[in-house]
Amino acid sequence: MNSDKGREVFEWLVCILIALIVVALIKSFVGFPTVVSGASMDSTLKDGQRLWVSRIGIEINKYPKKGDIITFEAPTTTYITKASANKDNPVAIYNEVNKGFFANISSAISLFGETSYIKRVIGLPNDHIEIKDGVVYVNDQKLDEPYLDSGTETTSADGCFTDIVVPDGYIYVLGDNRSVSGDSRRFGCIPIDKIEGRAVLRFWPLSKWKLIK
């Protein structure tokens, strides 16, 4: 009798382990759901809307495309002051912590692990980004941004990274709601290994269901 119960418990543990491995694989290589928090992507995405984030394109291609909406791990320092900014190396600051075995497992299976930001890709490596006169210039060409609300102006937002060249291995991101977004203007460029995936589908609320292009 006891051996039967022991075998049943063992079988349940094996099933749970397999399920966790499947979740980890899906999250790592396919995608995961996420919830928009805050107003930094208005008018494109609203607070509380739910998205499906795909990792497939990120795994296949090293870099996202300009205009893609991505999620990425939030920098440790979200506002680099002018006194401490290095415009020759305009990159976001991450305090790397060596996680233990169980912390890594928890992060892999959790659908909502580290704090993430969602922004739009504006610049890729070696792009010259300049913000002036209320608009964004990429490689000295005014950026066409039809996704912004009419009348939106892009200012420095008190950030110092508004006239920089994107370093190799990094991207420059902005929120669509420029007046409230904390983004690369304030914390610098994001390393590609901090990108989690590309938003491809808004699935909630159902009335706002839409593929994100």
Domain containing residue 7: CATH number: 2.10.109.10
Per residue in 153-170, pLDDT (tens digit) is 999 999 999 999 999 999
- Distances in whole angstroms, Cα of residue 166 to Cα of each of 50, 173, 199: 30, 10, 22
Task: Return left, alpha or beta for 58; rule: phi > 0 is left, psi -120 to 50 is alpha, else beta.
Answer: alpha
For the chain, what is the domain count? 1
- Mean pLDDT, range 110-122, rounded to an integer: 75
Of the candidates 62, 33, 60, 38, which has an alpha carbon nearest to the alpha carbon of residue 48? 38
- Mean pLDDT, range 157-185, rounded to an integer: 95
Which has the minimum average pLDDT: 2-16, 39-53, 118-132? 2-16
**pLDDT for the residue numbered 165:** 97
**pLDDT for the residue numbered 4:** 67
**pLDDT for the residue numbered 156:** 93
Range of 54-68, 69-83, 105-119, 129-143 with top mean pLDDT:
129-143
- Mean pLDDT, range 127-148, rounded to an integer: 96
User: Which residue spans within 17-144 are E strands per DSSP?
Assistant: 31-35, 50-54, 69-73, 116-123, 128-132, 135-138, 141-142
- What does the alpha-carbon distance between residue 132 and residue 24 come to, in Å, rounded to a whole number? 43
pLDDT of residue 101 exceeding 80, the answer is no
- pLDDT more than 70, % of the chain: 79
Per residue in 41-87, pLDDT (tens digit) is 998 999 999 999 988 866 566 789 999 999 999 999 999 988 888 88
Judging by beta carbons within 10 Å of its beta carbon (0-12, 13-18, 19+), is residue 111 exposed, middle or buried? Answer: exposed
213 or 79, which is more confident: 79
| DSSP-assigned beta bridge partners for residue 91 | 189
Q: What is the domain range of residue 94?
A: 2-211
